[in-house]
């Protein structure tokens, strides 16, 4: 069970890194300009990457973990 908790931690850290980089890139692009289209593209791309690469596999892992933790019914007849 500890290994699964460690994997979840890596997903959370990766998520934070992606959004940290996104914020830094947006700050650099916004410096002294008004470029909504460029910023919108950066944020939309980052959100898509975040959903696909981080929360997609995480959702699959959590579903698998939930199925493993379900109590198994004994068929005693």
Task: Give ∠ CA 60-66-10 in degrees, rounded to 5.
Answer: 50
CA distance 59 to 12: 13
pLDDT in tens, 6-55: 677 787 788 888 888 888 888 888 888 888 778 888 888 888 888 788 77
Secondary structure element (H or E) that encloses residue 24, with its range: helix 2-30
CA distance 15 to 46: 10
pLDDT in tens, 52-74: 887 778 778 878 878 888 776 65
CA distance 64 to 8: 13
Answer yes or no: pTM beyond 0.85: no
């Amino acid at each position: 069970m500890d290994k699964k908790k460690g994997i979840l931690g890596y997903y959370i850290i990766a998520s934070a890194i992606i959004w940290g980089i996104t914020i830094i890139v947006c700050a650099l692009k916004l410096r002294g300009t008004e470029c909504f289209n460029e910023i919108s593209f950066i944020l939309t791309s980052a959100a898509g990457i975040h959903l696909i690469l981080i929360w997609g596999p995480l959702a699959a892992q959590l579903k698998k973990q939930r199925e493993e933790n379900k109590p198994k019914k004994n068929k005693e007849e």
